[in-house]
Amino acid sequence: MGLTPGTRVTVVKSAPFHGPLEVSVRGSRLALGRGMAERVFVEITE
Amino acid sequence: MTEKKLTIALAGNANVGKSVIFNQLTGLHQHIGNWPGKTVEKAEGTLHFKGYTIDIIDLPGIYSLSTFSLEELVSREYIAVERPDLVINIVDASVLERNLFFTLQLMELETPMVMALNQIDMAEKKGIRIDHKKLQKILRIPVVPTVAIKGTGVYELLERSVEIIEKGGINPPIIKYGEEAEERIREITKLLEKIPFRYPARWAAIKLLEGDEQVEKEIREIGPETLSTAERLAKEIEEIHGHSCSTIITSERYEVAGKIAREVQQIVPKIRPPMGETLHTITTHKILGYPIMVLAVLTIFQSIFTFGDYTSGLLSNLLYGWEPLFEGLLGTGIVKELVWGGIVEGIIAGVTVALPYIAPFYFILYLLEDSGYLSRIAFLMDTLMHKIGLHGKAFIPVMLGYGCNVPACLGCRIMETERERLLAAFVTTLVPCAARTVIILGLVGAFVGVQWALALYIIDLLVIFLLGRLAFKALPGEPTALIMEMNDYRFPHLKTVGKQTWFRLEEFIKISFPLIIIGSLVIKLMGILNLLEPIANILSPVTVTWLGLPAITGITLIFGVLRKELTLIMLATLLGTTDFARILTPLQMIVFTLVAMLYIPCVATIAALVKEFGWKKALFITVFEIIFAIFVGGITLRLLILTEV
């Protein structure tokens, strides 16, 4: 889904109760379940 | 002179307006079936253009609400093996980079291509301007800007497509990967060129490096040594880069896609956030999102039930009015009983459910999907659905289930794995559909009290939750996490939504009508042969002793297999009154309704289960639910007696 190493990812918001994250990747909007989001390793840039 | 035949396939990510373009191209000349042996839909249509008869194949969209890898397999197999004359790649201009990723993959399949740069108006609203001429130059394929909903650019798209086919097609450029990968791709390509493989050699070489299971499986049979070479080379690449080979190739592909996108698009600052953005923010809001969702869903149900109730009554009055006609034709003997009571009443039963309830339900659901709201609901419901081992998308079939369990079972196809499809289908068969709502409201709601009807709904939700959780623990396998694109909100294309509704309705009719009719016939025959009484007696240990109900309810529960609300209708017929309070105590009504609610998916749902999961699993779910309903009914009876309500 475009989450490849080195991609800039912006977390827009998260649903309550430990819900999925809304992230913006390559100009598109993805919903990522926690299980999936936990497997994405990021480096904070800003 | 006969017209020359051409085949054009439409390919693209989901939600890019592909089905709208398909509809614009083919109009009414289309039909939807399944790909042979797959549960993936195949839409086909024909049109005439400049002396050609053109077959349009709508390949399944990928990366959508309804994604599973099967769809991708079907698409590429079609392009590589059936070799359409041309592929039209439909691209959402507002998310060009992600869409180009797919374009690049399509190009690797070495097929003549034309690109439709769709929703160019939405992109402009978002402040994205695309130089399509430049894009055309880079990709070396025609790029036609389109606004499918308005039909803009569709004619030109066809013109360019025919042009390309007449010219004999151009070979699209092939993207170059990093030298380490490229070198190895060449090596494998050379090996593959020596064996007869149905896919292009270079494409297959890349797929082998990516570890594509399907390609590996096929190569294993025809050229095992090529496979082992590919595996060795993939390992080498992994050692150089420190990432898996598929990650590297995907990354490089994205890099190219990103580079092209940056080159051709110009971001101009938008004056104010478009309406869709604001709508998105509100509908996925931490706090506001939920009341909006509940309100939206309740409004939908309320209006469908009001509409359904009214039209259903109207339709059955009209259709039952034909009875004298049949009497006149066939007399009042056994033939009329079978034809009217068995076949015609069966059809009436189907019609009075399908048209008033299911059609509007589908229509609104597709409206919601097309507009983009369904994916927001999935986003909000993800946490809750995870408790029963499913993710947010599973909420969609559950919602469908409130209308009718049949489409709900079929709707479970949107789940990614077989395990999740089964789990979701099991849960949806427990959702009180429109017919069950009739019983709950008509019996308990009317004679015991609305608060008890509500209590039954809550009990049902608890049952769904508990059984779902149990099934989730019992079924082996890991739950998949949610990953889904949330497209921008857009105005739904009514014609496309209408067509989807119609095709679904057709599917529903095909699955459920034959069974409802056969079922009606069987029960009618049992009545004629005076078998109902003995059966009621056989069932009495369960109905009378364990559930504390009158023996006659055994018969009505059998009728309920056909259609759940028949339990109530038959009860009235057999008892000769609709004043149920005279025959049943409130306690009996609650137990009866509870059992009717849970005891079995109706015959049409069973058919849908068989179609999707095979008869073994369907039988298991059915038997389980019968036993479970009887068990819960008996326990509830005793609990209520104990607490002396």
Sequence spans of domains, chain B: 4-167, 179-246, 289-480+494-508, 522-643
pLDDT at B189 over 50: yes
> How far, in Å, are B415, B475, B524, B536 from residue B551 at the CA level?
42, 37, 19, 6
Residues 6 or more apart in contact with residue A28 via CB below 8 angstroms: A2, B95, B97, B98, B485
- Model pLDDT, residue B182: 85
Do residue A31 and residue B101 have CB atoms under 8 angstroms apart? Answer: no
**Secondary structure tally for chain A: helices H, strands E:** 1, 3
**Per-residue pLDDT averaged across B511-518, rounded?**
80
Do residue A15 and residue B483 have CB atoms under 8 angstroms apart? Answer: no
**Per-residue pLDDT averaged across B80-95, rounded?**
90
CA-to-CA distance for A25 and A43, rounded, in angstroms?
15
Q: With contacts defined as CB-CB under 8 Å, which chain B residues touch A20?
A: 379, 382-383, 392, 482
Residue in B251, B286, B488 nearest the CB of A5: B251
CA-to-CA distance for B316 and B514, rounded, in angstroms?
19
CA-to-CA distance for B80 and B259, rounded, in angstroms?
27
- Model pLDDT, residue A35: 77
Do residue B379 and residue A15 have CB atoms under 8 angstroms apart? Answer: yes
Q: With contacts defined as CB-CB under 8 Å, which chain A residues touch B479?
A: 35
> What is the CB-side half-sphere exposure of residue B552 using CA atoms within 13 A?
13
Cβ proximity of A19 and A34 under 8 Å: yes
Do residue B284 and residue A7 have CB atoms under 8 angstroms apart? Answer: no
The owner of tokens 């029963």 is B388
Confidence of residue B408 (pLDDT cuts 50, 70, 90): confident
Statement: B4-167 belongs to CATH 3.40.80.10:
no
- Model pLDDT, residue B316: 82
Q: Find, in chain A, the residue whose alpha carbon is nearest to that of B489.
A: A29
Residues 6 or more apart in contact with residue B625 via CB below 8 angstroms: B429, B430, B598, B599, B600, B601
Do residue B98 and residue A16 have CB atoms under 8 angstroms apart? Answer: no
Q: Which of B590, B609, B604 is nearest to B460 (CA)?
A: B590
pLDDT at B156 over 90: yes
Mean pLDDT rounded to a whole number for chain B: 84
Q: With contacts defined as CB-CB under 8 Å, which chain A residues touch B16?
A: none
Characterize the bridge pairing of strands B30-34 and A9-14: unpaired
Q: Which of B384, B390, B432, B426 is nearest to B409 (CA)?
A: B426
Overall fold of domain B179-246: Helix Hairpins (1.10.287)
Cβ proximity of B195 and B227 under 8 Å: no
Tell me which residues of chain A, numbers 3 to 22, contact chain B at a CB-CB cutoff of 8 Å: 4-7, 13, 15-20, 22
pLDDT at B218 over 90: no
pLDDT at B65 over 50: no
Q: Find, in chain A, the residue whose alpha carbon is nearest to that of B380.
A: A15
CA-to-CA distance for B443 and B581, rounded, in angstroms?
9
Confidence of residue B1 (pLDDT cuts 50, 70, 90): very low
pLDDT at B365 over 60: yes
CA-to-CA distance for B119 and B113, rounded, in angstroms?
19
Do residue B482 and residue A32 have CB atoms under 8 angstroms apart? Answer: yes
Confidence of residue B66 (pLDDT cuts 50, 70, 90): very low
Q: Which of B62, B78, B61 is nearest to B7 (CA)?
A: B78
pLDDT in tens, B134-148: 999 898 899 999 998
User: Of B221-225, B238-242, B402-406, B594-598, which one has max mean pLDDT?
Assistant: B594-598
Q: Find, in chain B, the residue whose alpha carbon is nearest to that of A32.
A: B483
CA-to-CA distance for B132 and B359, rounded, in angstroms?
41
Cβ proximity of B111 and B88 under 8 Å: no
Higher pLDDT, B536 or B174: B536
Most B CBs within 10 A among A7, A22, A29, A32, hence the mutation to make, goes to A29
CA diameter of chain B: 86
Q: Which of B508, B512, B497, B498 is nearest to B561 (CA)?
A: B512
The DSSP call for residue B272 is S
Q: With contacts defined as CB-CB under 8 Å, which chain B residues touch A16?
A: 286-287, 383
Q: With contacts defined as CB-CB under 8 Å, which chain A residues touch B485?
A: 1, 28-31
Q: Output the six-digit token pair for B320.
A: 């039952």
**Per-residue pLDDT averaged across B580-585, rounded?**
84
Higher pLDDT, B225 or B615: B615
Q: Find, in chain A, the residue whose alpha carbon is nearest to that of B389.
A: A35
Distance from the B475 Cα atom to the nearest Cα atom in chain A, whole angstroms? 19
pLDDT in tens, B556-566: 888 888 778 77
Phi, psi of B434 (to 5 degrees): -55, -45
pLDDT at B106 over 80: yes
> How far, in Å, are B190, B402, B567 from residue B319 at the CA level?
69, 26, 20
Q: With contacts defined as CB-CB under 8 Å, which chain B residues touch A33?
A: 382, 386, 391-392, 481-483
**Per-residue pLDDT averaged across B443-449, rounded?**
87
Cβ proximity of B590 and B451 under 8 Å: no
pLDDT at B311 over 50: yes
The DSSP call for residue B357 is I
**Per-residue pLDDT averaged across B283-307, rounded?**
87
Other beta carbons less than 10 A from residue B83's beta carbon: 13
| DSSP codes of every residue in B215-262 | HHHHHHHH-HHHHHHHHHHHHHHHHHHSS-HHHHHHHHHHHHHHHHHH
Most A CBs within 10 A among B382, B395, B487, B489, hence the mutation to make, goes to B382
Q: Find, in chain A, the residue whose alpha carbon is nearest to that of B241.
A: A5
pLDDT at B570 over 80: no
Residues 6 or more apart in contact with residue A27 via CB below 8 angstroms: B94, B95, B96, B97, B98, B261
Residue in B250, B391, B485 nearest the CB of A28: B485
Do residue A33 and residue B386 have CB atoms under 8 angstroms apart? Answer: yes
CA B636 to chain centre: 35
CB pairs A-B closer than 8 Å: 97
Confidence of residue B68 (pLDDT cuts 50, 70, 90): very low
- Model pLDDT, residue B115: 94
3-class secondary-structure state, position B48 = strand
CA-to-CA distance for A15 and B588, rounded, in angstroms?
43
Characterize the bridge pairing of strands B52-58 and B86-92: unpaired
- Angle made by CA atoms B169, B175, B176, in degrees to the nearest 5: 140
**Per-residue pLDDT averaged across B472-487, rounded?**
79
**Per-residue pLDDT averaged across B541-548, rounded?**
87
Do residue A30 and residue B391 have CB atoms under 8 angstroms apart? Answer: no
- Model pLDDT, residue B171: 66
User: Of B96-100, B178-182, B619-623, which one has max mean pLDDT?
Assistant: B619-623
- Model pLDDT, residue B2: 61
Distance from the A38 Cα atom to the nearest Cα atom in chain B, whole angstroms? 10
Q: Which of A1-5, A28-32, B358-362, B408-412 has the lowest mean pLDDT?
A: A1-5
**Per-residue pLDDT averaged across B138-167, rounded?**
90
Residue in B63, B287, B382 nearest the CB of A20: B382
Do residue A33 and residue B254 have CB atoms under 8 angstroms apart? Answer: no
- Angle made by CA atoms B493, B496, B497, in degrees to the nearest 5: 80
Specify the length of chain B in residues. 645
Higher pLDDT, B116 or B211: B116
CA diameter of chain A: 29
Alpha-helical regions (H) of B56-131: 69-77, 96-108, 120-125
Confidence of residue B69 (pLDDT cuts 50, 70, 90): low
Instruction: Output the pTM of the full model.
Output: 0.77
Q: Output the six-digit token pair for B62.
A: 């990928």
Q: Output the six-digit token pair for B351.
A: 């019609």
The DSSP call for residue B552 is T
Do residue A5 and residue B247 have CB atoms under 8 angstroms apart? Answer: yes
In angstroms, the first-to-last Cα distance of chain B is 83
Do residue B487 and residue A31 have CB atoms under 8 angstroms apart? Answer: no
pLDDT at B645 over 70: no
Confidence of residue B475 (pLDDT cuts 50, 70, 90): confident
Residue burial B520-540, b: 16+ Cβ < 10 Å; e: rest? bbebbeebeeeebeeebeebb
- Model pLDDT, residue B273: 65
- Model pLDDT, residue B35: 59
Confidence of residue B44 (pLDDT cuts 50, 70, 90): confident
Q: With contacts defined as CB-CB under 8 Å, which chain B residues touch A28?
A: 95, 97-98, 485
Higher pLDDT, B148 or A3: B148
The DSSP call for residue B322 is T
Q: Does B482 touch chain A (CB under 8 A)?
A: yes
Higher pLDDT, B421 or B512: B421
Phi, psi of A30 (to 5 degrees): -115, 145
- Model pLDDT, residue B309: 81
Distance from the B93 Cα atom to the nearest Cα atom in chain A, whole angstroms? 11
Residue in B254, B286, B386 nearest the CB of A2: B254
